C-alpha cells in the first residue's frame, strides 16, 4: 500500500516531464519551420531584389535625379552586398509572417479556452488591419515630409543620401505609424482586464489629445510638423474609435 502511494507522485512527475518534453519538441519543430519560411522568403527577395528595393525606397526616389547630382551614396566596398542581405531579410520576414503567425497560433491554441480563442480571432485581424493602415498612411505622406526636410539643406549642398541610413529612416517611419495604429487594440485589452473604462476615456479626452501630440512628436523620425500632424490626427480618430470598442468589451 505504501509503495503504491509512493509510486503515484513519481508517475505524475514522469508524465509532466514527458509532457514538457513533447511541448519543447513541438516548439523546436515550429521554430525550425519558421526559419525555413524566412529562408524561402529571403530567396524570393534575392531573386526580385531590384523590384523590392525600388518599392521600399519609393518615397525618396522622386528627389533623386542625375541632372541635379542627387543620388544614393555608398561609402564602402561591401556596403552594397550588406544592404542586399538586409533587404532580403526584411522581405523574408514580411513574406513569412503569415505562416509564422499560423505556427504560433497552432502551438498556443490547445492551451487556450474557448473564450480566449474567440478573443484572439477578433483582435488578431483588427491588429493586422490597423498595422497595414498605418504603414499605408506613412507610405503616402512620407514624400511630403522628405520634401520639407530636403528644403532645409544649405544652399549649394548636393543631396546624396546614404543607402543604409535611408532604408533605416523609411523603415522607422513605417514601424512608427504601424505601432501607433495599434492603440485601439491596446485600449481594448486594458478595458477587458478592467484597468480603464469607456467613461474614463471620455472624461480625459483633452489630456489624451495632448498626450497623443507629444507621442506623435517623439516617435516621428523625420521630426517635421506635417508628418507629426499626419500621425496625430488619425491617432485622435483612433482614440475616439477606442472608446466605442472599450465600451463593447465592457458589455
Residue 100 predicted with pLDDT over 80? yes
- The structure's pTM equals 0.74
Residue 222 predicted with pLDDT over 90? no
Q: CA-CA distances (angstroms) from residue 21 to 17, 27, 110?
A: 6, 10, 16
Asked if 137 and 230 count as a contact pair (C-beta separation under 8 A), the reply is yes
- At residue 148 the predicted structure's pLDDT band, cuts being 50, 70 and 90, is confident
- At residue 2 the predicted structure's pLDDT band, cuts being 50, 70 and 90, is very low
Residue 33 predicted with pLDDT over 80? yes
Residue 47 predicted with pLDDT over 90? yes
Amino acid at each position: 500500500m505504501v509503495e503504491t502511494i509512493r509510486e503515484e507522485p513519481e508517475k505524475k512527475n514522469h508524465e509532466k516531464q514527458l509532457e514538457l518534453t513533447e511541448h519543447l519538441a513541438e516548439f523546436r519543430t515550429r521554430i525550425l519551420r519558421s526559419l525555413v519560411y524566412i529562408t524561402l522568403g529571403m530567396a524570393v527577395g534575392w531573386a526580385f531584389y531590384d523590384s523590392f528595393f525600388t518599392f521600399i525606397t519609393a518615397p525618396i526616389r522622386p528627389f533623386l535625379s542625375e541632372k541635379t547630382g542627387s543620388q544614393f551614396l555608398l561609402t564602402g566596398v561591401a556596403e552594397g552586398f550588406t544592404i542586399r542581405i538586409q533587404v532580403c531579410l526584411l522581405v523574408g520576414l514580411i513574406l513569412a509572417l503569415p505562416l509564422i503567425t499560423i505556427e504560433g497560433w497552432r502551438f498556443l491554441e490547445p492551451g487556450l479556452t474557448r473564450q480566449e480563442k474567440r478573443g484572439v480571432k477578433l483582435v488578431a485581424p483588427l491588429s493586422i488591419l490597423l498595422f497595414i493602415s498605418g504603414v499605408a498612411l506613412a507610405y503616402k505622406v512620407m514624400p511630403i515630409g522628405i520634401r520639407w526636410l530636403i528644403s532645409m539643406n544649405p544652399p549649394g549642398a548636393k543631396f546624396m543620401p546614404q543607402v543604409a541610413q535611408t532604408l533605416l529612416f523609411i523603415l522607422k517611419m513605417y514601424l512608427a505609424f504601424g505601432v501607433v495604429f495599434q492603440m485601439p487594440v491596446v485600449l481594448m485589452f486594458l478595458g477587458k482586464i478592467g484597468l480603464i473604462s469607456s467613461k474614463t476615456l471620455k472624461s480625459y479626452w483633452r489630456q489624451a489629445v495632448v498626450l497623443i501630440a507629444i507621442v506623435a512628436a517623439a516617435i516621428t523620425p523625420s521630426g517635421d510638423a506635417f508628418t507629426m500632424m499626419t500621425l496625430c490626427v488619425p491617432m485622435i480618430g483612433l482614440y475616439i474609435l477606442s472608446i466605442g470598442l472599450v465600451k463593447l468589451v465592457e458589455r
